[in-house]
Structure 1
Amino acid sequence: MLKLKLLSLKVSLGSYETLLCHIVNLAKQHKPSYVCIANVHSVVEARRNRSFREALTSADIVAPDGMPLSRSIKLLHGIKQEPQVATELLNGLFARAEEEQLPVFFYGGSSEVLKRASDYITQHYPSLQIAGKYSYPFRSLTEQDKEDIANKITKSKAQIVFVVSGVRRQEKWMYEMRGRIPGVMVGIGDALPALVGIKKRAPKWMKNGNMEWAYNMANEPRKIFTSYLATYAVYTTLVLSEKIRLLMMKSTSTKFTQREIIEPLVQ
């Protein structure tokens, strides 16, 4: 998948169907690889945190999650990008894995989340093989821990590994485990708890209207006020600053067309 530079990250371009096909192909090839799903928080955090940015940059695929990133790509570069919704992507991968008979493994999350995930799959995707589950210890992993986990996943013959550790922790883990697991790792963060009913989800009309933040504010007002709003304010400022920079770049040089400005950002 082609990647486009969006502020501090390079995000993968393509439709939902294209994204699914690429992930499934990586799994079928047993290719050691990993996929990140980036949202506004990811972009801002990547700008602040060098190690997190490196983990995202090294990913095989970085899917833009939600309308804000899609609209930013359109605003800055004139490219229409279909927003990827993590919960929909997760359901899509479950369906494809069941259809293609690709065993899956769940790493991270609490024992309750993993149990609810098993129940959900049994109900909705009864032919999908769960090769294994591992609820990570609440401490820093040693090199021996990482080796043991890699061996456990490899022996399970899983071809898709769903990593449920939350933003930063899951990206760092996948970055450190790259090359050790013969399959594709997919960082799904809060998508799994939301999908199986542990975490409340905004109605579809609010997601489509870019109003998911309002739903989250009603359910977690302190978290939204101290984290989400501050993050969105920073993100909006960064996007507007980048838009101004691109306009100035275009207006001060008659040598560059819009296509010539955009193309170096895509690889």
Structure 2
Amino acid sequence: MIDLGKRNVLGIGVNAIDYESAVARVIDAAIGRQPMSVTALAVHGVMTGVTDPEHQYRLNQFDLVCPDGQPVRWALNLLHGCQLADRVYGPDLTLEICRAAAQQSVPVFLFGSTEEVLSRFSDTLCRRFPSLRIAGTRSSRFRTLSQRERDELAEEIHSSGAGICFVGLGCPRQEVFAYEMRDRLDMPLIAVGAAFAFHAGMLAQAPPWMQRHGLEWLFRLAHEPKRLFKRYLTTNPAFLVRLALQKLGLMHRHQDPGRPPQRDVLFG
């Protein structure tokens, strides 16, 4: 098990951790009914925090920030000598948490995406882990929630009996949700993004060799060029430039706390 704590990657605190330790921390919090915010960040997730002080603040309040993308793992190794052999990929982390939750009789709640995705995702989880109990599901309304809707959603998740809530709203909305709802729910909130669609069989995953070599972005760009072209054209080069400057000691010498959000913007 590897858990070296948080390390500064472009001002964002990212945990140098492996799957086993990440799963153990989540399950311990679930069994102990402790609030916990968890996410797995690739380059885009890190850069969203770097370019938005309020979101940077949110990310730096998370209990666990896993290195989802290979470039984020490489950054931890390059900057801090962490010697991580593997990333902690959100879709795989989801399955490992569900495996452990089934073994420990911890029910899970699935929040986000569409009814169709949730139905298929639930079926996949039940086939893979027959003893896993899905306490409830709720699709996204795809808009900002009112205060009453937030209260109702928190009560629905709490009263379901779930010990873990997976959140699939896409970056950065899922991290906003996990940040704003953390202290209202006595359970881990796991922001896992595309894991819902991947495991529902509605979004193709990059071949293992592309994942190992940090080329997952290229695979996704080939499948969704119009939506992702601008993202990868700007974020990937910016990440590499900032990483080089941090390595040289010219930028991001310390973890940046960011700026507390001025208002809640819960999307659900």
TM-score normalised to structure 2 length? 0.89
User: Quick one: which of 105, 123, 144 aligns to 2:127?
Assistant: 123
Q: Which residue of 2 aligns with 1:62?
A: 65
Superposition pairs of residues 12-161 of structure 1, within 5 angstroms: 12-81=15-84, 82-161=86-165
Normalized per residue, which structure has more helix?
1
Note the C-alpha offset of 1:213.
2.2
Q: CA deviation at 1:78?
A: 1.9
Amino acid of the structure 1 residue aligned with 2:211: K
1:109 is displaced (CA, Å) by 0.9
Amino acid in the other structure paired with 1:67? Q
Residue type of the partner of 1:15? D
Tell me: CA distance 1:225–1:140, structure 2 relative to 1, closer, same or farther (3 Å).
closer
Q: Decide whether the 8 Å contact of 2:113 with 2:196 is kept in 1.
A: no
Query: What is the rounded CA distance, in whole Å, between the counterparts of 1:110 and 1:51 in structure 2?
Result: 28
Is the 1:107–1:134 contact (alpha carbons within 8 Å) kept by the matching residues of 2?
yes
Q: Name the amino acid aligned to 1:221.
A: P
**Percent identical across equivalent pairs?**
32
The one-letter code sitting in structure 1 at the alignment partner of 2:58 is A
Higher relative contact order (CA 8 A, sep 6+): 2
Hey, what's the Cα distance between the residues in 2 that align with 1:8 and 1:142? 32
1:161-172 aligned at under 5 Å gives the runs: 161-172=165-176
Shift of the alpha carbon at 1:41? Answer: 0.7
Q: Residue 251 of structure 1 aligns with which residue?
A: none
Contact kept? 1:102, 1:160, Cα under 8 Å: yes
Tell whether 2:207 aligns with 1:196: no
Q: What residue ranges of structure 2 are gaps of 5+ in the alignment? A: 256-268
8 Å CA contact 1:36–1:63 kept in 2: the answer is: yes
2:13 partner SS:
strand
SS in 2 for 1:171: helix
The answer as to whether partners of 2:7 and 2:80 remain within 8 angstroms in 1 is no
* SS of aligned partner of 1:13: strand
Matched, 1:9 2:12: yes
Contact 1:8–1:43 (8 Å) recurs in 2: no
Q: Deviations over 1:133-163 (max 9, x none)?
A: 1112122111111111111111111000000
Q: 1:138 is aligned with what amino acid?
A: F
Partner of 2:62, secondary structure, is: coil
Aligned to 2:265: none
Aligned with 2:248: secondary structure?
helix
The one-letter code of the counterpart of 2:21 is T
Letter matched to residue 36 of structure 1 = T
AA aligned to 1:25 is: D
Q: Which shows bigger deviation, 208-217 or 104-113?
A: 208-217
Alignment check: 8 A CA contact 2:108 2:133 kept: yes
Q: Report deviation, 1:48.
A: 1.1
d(CA) in 2 for partners of 1:192, 1:157? 21
2:183 aligns to what SS in structure 1? coil
- The answer as to 2:169 corresponding to 1:176 is no
TM-fit CA distance, 1:179: 1.3
Match of 1:217 among 216, 221, 226: 221
| Aligned-pair CA distance for 1:51 | 2.1
More off after superposition, 221-230 vs 175-184: 221-230
Residue 218 of structure 1 deviates from its aligned partner by 2.0
CA distance in 1, matches of 2:170, 2:217: 18
Q: Deviations over 1:6-65 (max 9, x none)?
A: 112001122211111111111111101110111111111101112211221111101111
